[in-house]
Amino acid sequence: MEQLKLENMFQKYLPFQKKYFFKNSLFFLFLIFPITFLLGNLAINSLTILIALTFIVIVIKNESINLLNDKVFYLMLFLLLSYLINLIFSQNFFLSYQRVIKFFFICFFVLSFKFLSNNIEKKYIDNIYKFWAITLFIVAFDTIFELTMGFNILGNVSKMPGRIASFTGDELIIGNFFAALSLIALSFIFYKSNKNILYIFLVSLIFILISLLIGERSNFLKTSIIIFLFIFFTFRFRLKYIAAFLFLTLASIILILNFNKDYKLRYYDQMTGLNKWQLNKLHQLNIFNKEAVFLNFQNSQYGAHYNVAKEIFLDNPIFGIGIKNFRIESYKKKYDDLDHKFNHLRGATHPHQIHYELLAETGLVGYLSFILFMIISLIFFFKNFKNNKNIYEFSGMLFVIISLLPLIPSGSFFSTYSAGLFWFNYSIMMGNKKIEN
């Protein structure tokens, strides 16, 4: 009798009947997936592959699931084929093939979330988003804890002033995670607060300031942009509130930068890396002025990465040098004489900008294939969003779009961490789950 009670109590947490082991497993694997980004690349890869394999088993066991009728399946297959073509022309096959194999599993990862979100009751998909939001709130609390105590709740300490270690330790990459999940948490608050604008504004301001204090400049910029876009499009008829929020946010940021020398160094002085004459010159120029952009480009290591990536693309315009080959090509002697102040620092594992990376490593064939893939994906999204009005999917779309901004430095598109966060949000964007009218 007691065992039956326990089984019944456990059953209420399962989206499917007990006999559907693999479907229930898929639910719990997605539930905990964001935690893997706090554990490391091995955990991310392992769970991605496990989710994909679980879904493949579900497809094999269930004759009613026909991927051949799913447009997203063909979309993912198209991009996979472009990477297979790139593999043929890769300068170093052994560096590239692992990423192509991993993308095979990412294809089924994306399809599995679409399947799950369309085949479980609303309360269960709500539980997934709730757990993901709680995960971000824990990271936010940990960030504040580290700012106060000098170490995070696990004892991790940042060795760089103006940066936060949090759960990612010495890698100092928690800002990307925060950006990737911030809108998911805001979407959860959006629904649970019954669209209370003041409550959402308060949490949004806290998120932007936490992102600032994490100290990852490009991720702070991306987080700020997507939160402002989220607020603008969800409360687009309340412009006076949005203007007040913008003013309050900018005032808070200016205060922090003026009263904290570490963050002033991080967000102002280091971003230019210029001498006094150049700083004065930059002050005279509008931030969007072509000359100001060029001055910054010529005086940063990122500019050196972009510059050699451009040259690599021009040398290999059709198919590129192959995925993950920048780490070898950028160090070659034939690029020793490039005209850039920091050319001696040009070599890296990736160009630190997604468009340069795609052009250098996949050439025009791979780059245009990806652009076409994204255009069609967005067409699918907007057609579905017109009917579904799913704010979670809208949030996923905003992160995907912000990840593709040109010029702003980014992590490697083919790395485990950055790619994992991108495809995680892409999966949400393509979920096609109706939430409300």
pLDDT digits (tens, 9 = 90+) for 175-185: 999 999 999 99
Residue 406 lies in a domain: no
Using an 8 Å Cβ cutoff, are 295 and 274 in contact? yes
Taking only the tens place, the pLDDT of each residue in 361-381 is 999 999 999 999 999 999 999
Asked if the structure places residue 294 within a domain, the reply is: no
Query: Which residues, including other chains, have CB under 8 Å from residue 383's CB and lie 6 or more apart?
Result: none
Residue 290 lies in a domain: no
Q: Is residue 167 part of a domain?
A: yes
pLDDT in tens, 31-41: 999 999 999 99
Task: Tell whether the model's pLDDT for residue 296 goes beyond 80.
Answer: no
Q: Which residues of 403-425 are buried (b: 16+ CB within 10 A; e: fewer)?
A: bbeeebbbbbbbbbbbbbbbbbb
Domain count for the chain, please give it. Answer: 1
Span 128-137, pLDDT tens digits: 999 999 999 9
More confident of the two residues 294 and 145: 145
> Does residue 274 fall inside a structural domain?
no
Mean pLDDT over residues 413-423, rounded? 95
Q: Examine the pLDDT at 271 and tell me if it is beyond 70.
A: no
37-43: long-range contacts, CB 8 A cutoff, minimum separation 24? 37/177, 37/180, 37/417, 37/420, 37/421, 38/139, 38/167, 38/168, 38/177, 41/416, 41/417
Average pLDDT, the chain: 87
pLDDT, tens digit, 9 for 90 and up, residues 307-361: 899 999 999 999 999 999 999 999 999 988 888 888 888 889 999 999 999 999 9
Say whether pLDDT at 434 is over 70: no
Rounded to whole angstroms, the Cα distance separating 131 from 142 reads: 17
Choose the weakest-confidence range: 81-95, 116-130, 312-326, 390-404.
Answer: 116-130
Rounded mean pLDDT, 303-307: 87
> What's the rounded Cα separation, in Å, for the pair 58 and 354?
34
Predicted local confidence at residue 340, as pLDDT: 81
Residue 72, domain member (yes or no): no
pLDDT for residue 298 is more than 90: no
The CA distances from residue 74 to 79, 325, 415, in Å, are 9, 27, 24
d(CA 248, CA 242): 10
pLDDT value at 436 more than 80: no
Portion of the chain with pLDDT greater than 70, in percent? 88
Does residue 6 form part of some domain?
no
The answer to the question of residue 83 being in a domain is: no
Q: What per-residue confidence (pLDDT) applies to 35?
A: 97
Of the two residues 6 and 307, the one the predictor is more confident about is 307
- Minimal CA–CA distance to 432: which of 89, 110, 177? 110
Question: What is the mean pLDDT of the segment spanning 167-175?
Answer: 89
Q: Is residue 163 within 8 Å of 215, Cβ to Cβ?
A: yes
Q: What is the pLDDT of residue 435?
A: 52
Q: Region 111-129: what's the mean pLDDT? A: 91
pLDDT band at 285 (very low <50, low <70, confident <90, very high): very low
- Cα–Cα dist 124/397, whole Å: 22
What token pair was written down for 65?
A: 């699931």
8 vs 27, more confident = 27
Domain span at residue 216 reads: 140-269
pLDDT attached to residue 162: 82
> What confidence tier does 409 reach under pLDDT thresholds 50, 70, 90?
confident
Q: Which two tokens stand for residue 225?
A: 């942009």
**Side chain identity at residue 50, one-letter code:** L
